[in-house]
A = this chain, B = another copy of it.
Amino acid sequence: MAEKLEIPKGYRHTKQRKAILEILEKAEFPIHAEDIYLKLKENGMDISLSTIYRNLDMLTKEGLVVKSYMLGEDKARFALPDKKNYLVCEKCGKIVIIDNCPFDKFKEELVEVHGFDITGHSVEVYGVCPECKKTNVG
């Protein structure tokens, strides 16, 4: 699926760093720093939260990871760039990645109207997922 993720040049291959990247690769949607911490704990790895934050920071600056905040949340989530556009269910919180983001088709329109050179975008769509529509909880 995703191209193999490499630790950027100039940085060391530590086991913590590799483990963090692995978690991010496996994640199906943007997750919190603490989620990474907990998953690594589960896997028996003892890592410190600050190491996780420092690595996420580095990875974000290097462009391998995208940081975002979900509606109504106050802590950051991190994900590989191909998971940055998503749908969120307002009822159950389920997150579904938007694979072929239709927004891409509109870059040109935005360039024409506003004159920006566009380098990226992030889209969050919220609504009610099919399951929650059935289980019509008020």
Contacts and interface: CB of A to CB of B under 8 A. Distances in A.
Contacts of A110: 87, 98, 102, 125
A130 B117 CA distance: 8
Nearest to A125: B121
A115 interface: yes
Contact of A130 (B71, B116, B129): B116
Contact of A126 (B89, B102, B121): B121
Contacts of A96: 114, 116
A76 to B, nearest CB: 8
Interface string A104-138: 00100110001111111111111111100100000
Task: List the 3 shortest-distance A-B pairs measured between CB atoms, nearest first.
Answer: A115-B130, A69-B69, A118-B127
